[in-house]
Amino acid sequence: MDNTSKLRDHKLVPDFNPANSLGLPERRLLMQLTGPQERLDYPTESMKMSNGCEVEKYIIPEEDRQKVLDALYPFTDQPGLDEMRLDLHTNKTFRVRDFIVTREGDGNFLVTPYYAEQGGTVLDWMMPDKDACGSGCMIVKKGKTGASPVE
């Protein structure tokens, strides 16, 4: 069985299309952590990915960005909105407040501003200064379930 066949059979991303494989391993892991999620109460627009497919991207107003980050960030070491992070896939830095949230399958995915280029999710947010990473441990927040994260 080739890798495409294995990916197509995956149940956590029910609308999987082999052309839409950017960030797939990360989205699978995030779905294991969060379970299915209700849609956020924000409008969406289409975002074209570098592989030619399109995903839904939430339009989140500036005044709600902290609330959304608080709800979707899956680890205990949550950065502030004005902190810088490195997208591990593109090796580009970004300000956390520039995050994107996509709706794919049954999940809301917190991703880097460069997600459309290489598929970097919140799992790929690294401290820009390697010496500042501390122990490198990430602890999953308790209580992350499929409940609607933003009210």
In a domain, 50, yes or no: yes
Is 142 a domain residue? no
Average pLDDT over residues 111-132: 83
Report, as an integer, the average pLDDT of 77-105.
Answer: 93
Number of domains in the chain: 1
Q: Does the residue 143 lie in any domain?
A: no
Output the average pLDDT for the chain: 77
Q: How far apart are CA 99 and CA 121, in angstroms?
A: 9
Q: What is the spatial order of strands in the sheet that 44-48 belongs to? A: 44-48, 54-58, 100-104, 107-111
For residue 91, being part of any structural domain is answered with yes
pLDDT of residue 141: 58
Q: CB of 8 within 8 A of CB of 18?
A: yes
Tell me: pLDDT of 73 over 90. yes
On whether residue 60 sits in a domain, the answer given is yes
Please report the pLDDT score of residue 32 as a whole number: 74
In a domain, 108, yes or no: yes
Query: Is 144 within the bounds of a domain?
Result: no
Give residue 59's domain range: 3-133
